[in-house]
Amino acid sequence: MERYNFKVVEEKWQDYWTKNKSFKSTLNKSKKKFYCLEMFPYPSGKIHMGHVRNYTIGDVLSRYKSMLGFNVLHPMGWDSFGMPAENAAKENKLDPKIWTEKNISVMKTQLKKLGLSIDWEREISTCSEEYYKHQQLFFLELYDKGLVYKKENYVNWDPIDETVLANEQVIDGKGWRSGAVVERKKLNQWFFNISKFSDELLKGLDELKFWPNKVKIMQKNWIGKSFGCEVNFKVEGDLPIKTIKCFTTRPDTLFGFSFLAVSVDHPISEHFKENPEFIRFKKECSKTGTTEESIAQGEKIGFNTNVMAVNPLNEKQKVPIYFANFVLMDYGFGAVFGCPAHDQRDLDFALKYNLPVKTVVKPLNEDDTYQVKKEAYTGIGEIINSDFLNGLKVPEESVIKTIEILEEKKLGNKKINFRLKDWGVSRQRYWGCPIPVAYNENGDVIKIPNDQLPVRLPENINLKEKGNPLDKVKSWKHIKINGKDCFRETDTLDTFVDSSWYFLRFCSPNSKDYGYNIDEINYWMPVDQYIGGVEHAILHLLYSRFFMRALNYKNDQFKITEPFEGLFTQGMVCHETYKDENNNWLSPEEVESEDGKNFYIKNYPDKKAIVGSSESMSKSKKNTIDPEYIINNFGADAVRLFILSDSPPEKDVQWSEQGMVASYKFMQKLWVLHKKFKDKIKEDTTSEDNEIEIFINQMIEKINYNLEKFHYNVIIANLYESYNFFTQKLNQNISKKNLLDSYTKFLSIISPVLPHFTSECLADLKLNPFQKWPEVDKNLIKNDTVEYVIQINGKKRAILKYMKDINQEELMKEIINNQETKKIIENKKIIKCFFVKNRLINILI
């Protein structure tokens, strides 16, 4: 028997698809569109298993939708600006552009080997001038709309990468890439006014019906809307500042006021800047803000100003004002009123500095003598010890009533506050999109005029030196605008800007004058199904949602607000980890085992290798498997089969060598089955048996369901199930009638997973390799007989095949007459029966 030669077959069909431009998509308003997009890769060098999984999932969906008759857009591109290119340039003296382009070429070849149904004519790369020149126009448009501004601000400074990080890029006080402890630094930075859309971004989440709840909740928490009010506190003493404004969600606890805490950056700090003790305290705070230990401990420290604040609801009460490390300048007004009894953080602080703790809310089951001791009470209850607020129900009336009182007395106003801060987009890097502005002698911002756009990155520059590379290229930096000397902005844009609109560019990749063509995006957008890792739940997905609103703002033609109609977050690919006895990571190729239990270093049976937990594949843990090696040895179809088979796509999957081999063997078995089918179709047999037809129609129905629900692992099980059925059935005397038709349908429904294999089989049968998605023949699967489950007292006792749609009496008659079942209820008194039509009967005896 001829073996299935995946190398020849896969290459043949990949060539065929390329030559015939099989996946080219064109705008066709008479057809319903389907935009399927996977998160585009960063060209780091080679593709990894995560890409294989991500793009296989997308490819199955694209091919399925295309067979259903949709006009499918399935593009691919490169998120090609970013730090690794610059690091490679530093370490290996490679030009970032050349390094990046080389990687793209390698990875493109690798992706093609997977047999993806991608329209490569739409390929884009964010580091190309053709891409970033449009981004510069967007930047200037947003500037004109007032959505971009510059301000001096404290930023997260990464001392290793020497760049600014967005809040989202700081993880546990460390830079997300370098791992360096982040410092606070004051810099003049460009910002996108994302907070302007806080409420819209929050409300928009409700419209996203096809997003995972998990992601929506994460974004909701990130935006962090809270309802409360601003309260003005009078300040007593000699300071020129006479009031301090606070934001609070609990104005109802104002009578429990015991101190006022402000940030060390609060305007009031101006009047302490010469106080040496305050200087020392401020220094202490800047340290605790970022180090991991302090965050873990959460120690609260304060500096007493010896200035007093007045309780607006009780003019007689005066409390001390402290500078405190836990108050953030960029939330609320950089000041909080402290009510220790009903806020754990305030209580910690009060206990440390011996400040009074006055209970003003009691739980419903306590009386008025209830007192808070070491644990703040934040639950529901009733207001006490609060003069005219006493008796209010917490929280349903107390907050609103107190705000009304404050507004009436002109002491405060209702306010909604958001946690979401504006997006700082300046990066002190070379390999990014240049910000298209310059400054004149006075430092005023001058937009680069149209005829001097785009601002191109200078080439052949020295990246060895520390600091901002563009700042050192004098010939590039100094320019003339309208005859006047200016110098360029030397920061580049955060690469998350690049990926905030690339999905628009895919719709009109050749639009020369502008980033998109309005006709084309209005046809293709929104992305119907976006697929990628959950690690982008906040950053990329929130920025993209913002960017669409920013383009939409003051632009009647631009209709899009939500870029991604459907979102699917796939899990990671994991593998066991190995270490030698000295705790050094070992790669899977470096270890060997004979029994699958005891591992040792290859060729050194006395050197033990320790098997660690299975973790997501990463270079640092050396537990990666190279997709190219696997594709070359087992074939793309077998890899696609395996990567989908073991776990549901949203969960992590365990890479298993054995599983991979099994998938490969299965491909061979499928080929044998194909030959059997081919022979059988030629044979002249007669039999009225139509089981194959029935089976395949039931299978189409199952696969339809599983495809729509993303249960791709179950589809693979369905495939195995079909194989098992067919191998049995083909050994029997079966009807030739409709055999070819059934087999064609079978090949069609597995073709999204195994496109090379099925194309080959269809061609072998002289059939069109591009089949339509088969429809279910309802008449065929309309079975006359049904398996009824016979339960006694809720326990399964028998299964009875009988006519469909019968009623309870008929079924009971059958049970009594049936050899097998009659003994179950013989001589028993039947109390009650529960009958579910065509399903089961539960007899209580």
Please report, as residue ranges, which positions from 589 to 628 form the binding site for RNA (by CB under 7 A): 596
- For residues 725-764, which are near RNA according to CB under 7 A? none
Q: Which residue number, 46 or 797, has a Cβ lying nearer to RNA?
A: 797
Work out which of 155, 336, 486, 631 binds RNA, going by CB under 7 A: 336
Per-residue DSSP letters for 364-417?
TTS-TT----SS---SSEEE-S-GGGTTPEETTTHHHHHHHHHHHTTSEEEEEE
Question: Under rule CB under 7 A, which residues in 502-541 are in contact with RNA?
Answer: 534, 538
Residues 539-578 that bind RNA (CB under 7 A): none
CB nearer RNA, residue 66 or residue 219: 219
Q: Where are the alpha helices (DSSP H) in 249-380?
A: 276-288, 292-297, 344-352
Three-class SS state of 257: coil
Tell which positions 229-258 bind RNA, by CB under 7 A: 246-250
Strand partners, 517: none
Whole-angstrom distance, CA of residue 707 vs CA of residue 702: 9
Q: Is the dihedral of CA 823, 824, 826, 827 positive or negative?
A: positive
**Is residue 808 a contact residue for RNA (CB under 7 A)?**
no
226 or 818, CB closer to RNA? 226
Q: Examine residue 714 and tell whether it contacts RNA (CB under 7 A).
A: yes
Interaction of residue 299 with RNA, rule CB under 7 A: yes
Of residues 64 through 123, those in contact with RNA by CB under 7 A are none
Which residue, 389, 437, 537, is CA-closest to 188?
437
| Total chain residues near RNA (CB under 7 A) | 83
Of positions 98, 295, 416, 830, contacts RNA by CB under 7 A: 295
Given its phi and psi angles, is residue 334 left (phi above 0), alpha (psi -120 to 50 degrees) or beta?
Answer: left
Does 662 bind RNA (CB under 7 A)? Our answer is yes
Q: Which of 22, 87, 226, 511 is the binder for RNA (CB under 7 A)? A: 226
Q: Which is nearer to RNA, 450 or 613 (CB)?
A: 613
Pick between residue 456 and residue 839 the one whose CB is nearest to RNA. 839
Which backbone phi and psi does 700 adopt, to 5 degrees? -60, -45
Interface of this chain with RNA, residues 255 to 294, rule: CB under 7 A: 263, 288-289, 294
**In 3-state terms, what secondary structure has residue 762?**
helix
Could you tell me which residues come within 8 angstroms of residue 658 by beta carbon, excluding any fewer than 6 positions away?
A: none
Candidate list 50, 75, 77, 228; residue touching RNA; CB under 7 A:
228
Query: Between residues 425 and 707, which has the closer beta carbon with respect to RNA?
Result: 707
Minimum distance from CB of 656 to RNA (Å)?
Answer: 6
* Coil, strand or helix at 236: strand
CB-based contacts of 639: which residues, under 8 Å, 6+ apart?
A: 52, 56, 114, 627, 630, 631, 660, 663
One-letter amino acid for residue 543 of the chain = Y
Q: Using CB under 7 A, which of the segments 357-365, 501-509, 522-530, 794-802 binds RNA?
A: 794-802
Pick the piece of the chain touching RNA (CB under 7 A) from 267-275, 276-284, 661-669, 731-739: 661-669
Closest to RNA by CB, 137 vs 786, is: 786
Among 48, 415, 622, 702, which residue sits at the site for RNA (rule: CB under 7 A)? 702
Site for RNA in 640-659 (CB under 7 A): 645-648, 651, 653-654, 656, 658-659
Q: Which is nearer to RNA, 102 or 796 (CB)?
A: 796
Minimal distance, residue 217 CB to RNA, in Å: 5
> Any bridge partners for residue 842, and if so which?
791, 834
Site for RNA in 431-490 (CB under 7 A): none
The helix/strand/coil state of 74 is: coil
Given a contact cutoff of 8 angstroms between Cβ atoms, the answer to whether 537 and 219 are in contact is yes
Q: Is 807 in the site for RNA (CB under 7 A)?
A: no
Scanning 64-72, 302-310, 585-593, 830-838 for contacts with RNA by CB under 7 A, the matching segment is 830-838
Applying CB under 7 A, which of residues 132, 326, 476, 578 lies at the interface with RNA? 326
Give the three-state DSSP class for 581: coil
For 10: left if phi > 0, alpha if psi spans -120 to 50, otherwise beta; the answer is alpha
Taking the complex as a whole, the smallest distance from the CB of residue 74 to RNA amounts, in Å, to 25
**135-174 binders of RNA (CB under 7 A):** 167-168, 171
Site of tokens 């993209």: 544
Strands (E), 70-215: 71-73, 77-78, 124-125, 148-158, 163-165, 170-171, 174-175, 183-192
Closest to RNA by CB, 256 vs 526, is: 256
Question: Do residues 762 and 769 make contact, with C-beta atoms less than 8 angstroms apart?
Answer: yes
Q: Which residue has tokens 């991608």? A: 118
Of the candidate residues 100, 135, 156, 325, the single one contacting RNA (CB under 7 A): 325
Q: Which position among 721, 729, 730, 765 is part of the footprint of RNA (CB under 7 A)? A: 721
